Amino acid sequence: MIGITVLGSTGSIGVSTLDVIAQHPEQYRAVALTANRNVDRLFEQCISHHPEYAVMTDVAAAEQLQQKIQTAGMDIEVFAGVEGLEKVAALPQCDQVMAAIVGAAGLLPTLAAARAGKRVLLANKEALVMSGQLFMDAVREHGAELLPIDSEHNAIFQCMPERFNGLENGGVEQILLTGSGGPFRAVDPAELVNVTPDQACAHPNWVMGRKISVDSATMMNKGLELIEACWLFAAPPEKIQIVVHPQSIIHSMVEYVDGSVLAQMGSPDMRIPIAHSMAWPKRTSSGVKRLNLFDVARLDFERPDDARFPCLRLARAVAEQGGTAAAILNAANEIAVEAFLGEALGFMDISRVIEATLSDVSAQAASSLDIVLQADAAAREVAQQHIDRLTAK
């Protein structure tokens, strides 16, 4: 029986993970479930999945959950705060950790899973974008396994040689990272000024949390994924080409020196990469509807439009720069997206805030976790100042 801790179990990826676990009760069980402050949802999940531990980051929410669990007479230990998250990421009875917290908040618990030598199922791309080499070193030093959940990186992983040992050794020419282009791929740029959060979150192919949905609309998601791919596959940014593919059927491709291009395809449903990573190197069913190529009928490809999506240019520059630049970009993006979702910032201002923050906060070598966390904090403060200035006008 494989024990799984699901960090961020109440989110979009968390719910899909619990769905796959529930399909294989003889093979997998949820050891611990965690959420930020959604007490009712986490309590419902406790009833249906019987974990040993439940964690709420918010202390008041943890107390409420504790009450409910006690009243229901359930035998579940409740923890609070980031320490609680780190504890359940490192439990001896946990073999795999689904890292599905959104944003920088996931960094410490995801790192704790790596340091405990777990199989880390990485959905929380922001954690890797921020900490880069430090995270990859922790994985190696503690004998952890890192399996990508992001559909593109999972596709690339599946298309890479079996014992991957660097692009060159594997005869890999380049990685083709696909993206749908989001809801505004073909919208007149003049109309983007007045876009609402609900419009930005209406993704054509995927149902996801609100933060990643906005990232998809600005294409910062593809920018973060470019940086994520550099770390996961030890690839310089120039070896990664972004390809817009509106149907989201091909999830990414690997091109070899002999001209072969391998692609992984499937319905746009995150249960595929989740089931793949849980069962790897074996395969298990995911509950996803079979891909019907006759219904798909056609696959289109386009070059990304950097003028329409400035976040792509910013992310590529940051990938080339290295150091804490990626943590600064990520923090500024989180603050700007939050302001946009709270209707305090215009859609087109998201990239402006990020660009201004990157020029104000200077990047350093990311030589320790403290330095990364300081860069994150400094960038949040500066980004907020830019937002205040932009919205005061």
Least distance from Mg ion to the Cβ atom of residue 125, Å: 8
Nearest CA-CA partner of 32 in 122, 93, 107, 101: 93
Instruction: Output the six-digit token pair for 324.
Output: 């804490």
Dihedrals phi, psi of 33, to nearest 5 degrees: -120, 145
The torsion of the CA quartet 298, 248, 145, 125, rounded to 10 degrees, works out to 160
Tell me which of Mg ion, ligand NAD, none is bound by residue 35, counting a contact when its beta carbon lies within the kind-specific cut-off of 5 to 8 angstroms.
ligand NAD
From the list 5, 17, 45, 57, which residue makes contact with ligand NAD (rule: CB under 6 A)?
A: 57
DSSP-derived secondary structure letter, 52: S
Task: Tell me whether residue 122 or residue 134 sits nearer to ligand NAD (CB atom).
Answer: 122
Single residue of 2, 23, 24, 36 touching ligand NAD by CB under 6 A: 36
C-alpha to C-alpha distance for 102 and 210, rounded to whole angstroms: 10
Instruction: Kindly state the smallest distance separating residue 386's Cβ from Mg ion, in Å.
Output: 27
Among the listed residues 8, 51, 148, 179, the single contact to ligand NAD using CB under 6 A: 8
Partner whose binding site includes residue 45, from Mg ion, ligand NAD, none (CB under 5 to 8 Å by kind): none
Give the nearest distance from C-beta 225 to Mg ion in angstroms: 6
* 13 lines the binding site for ligand NAD (CB under 6 A): yes
Q: Give min distance, CB of 354 to Mg ion, in A.
A: 19
Binding site for Mg ion (CB under 5 A): 150-152
Q: Which residue is nearest to Mg ion (CB)?
A: 150
CB of 337 to ligand NAD, least distance (A): 11
Token representation of residue 366? 């990311």
Q: Which two tokens stand for residue 248?
A: 């989201």
State the distance between the two ends of the chain, measured CA to CA, in whole angstroms: 59
CA dihedral 265, 309, 182, 240 (to 10 degrees): 10
Residue 318 tokens read as 């940051």
Q: Which is nearer to ligand NAD, 36 or 384 (CB)?
A: 36
Q: Which stretch binds ligand NAD (CB under 6 A): 69-77, 120-128, 168-176, 305-313?
A: 120-128
Q: Which is nearer to ligand NAD, 126 or 355 (CB)?
A: 126
383 binds ligand NAD (CB under 6 A): no
Cβ proximity to ligand NAD: between 110 and 324 the closer is: 110
- Are residues 19 and 45 in contact, defined by beta-carbon separation less than 8 angstroms? no
CB count within 10 Å of CB 242 equals: 25
Q: Which of residues 198-217 bind ligand NAD (CB under 6 A)?
A: 206, 208-209, 211-212
Report the candidate in 202, 196, 197, 198 with the shortest Cα–Cα distance to residue 183.
202
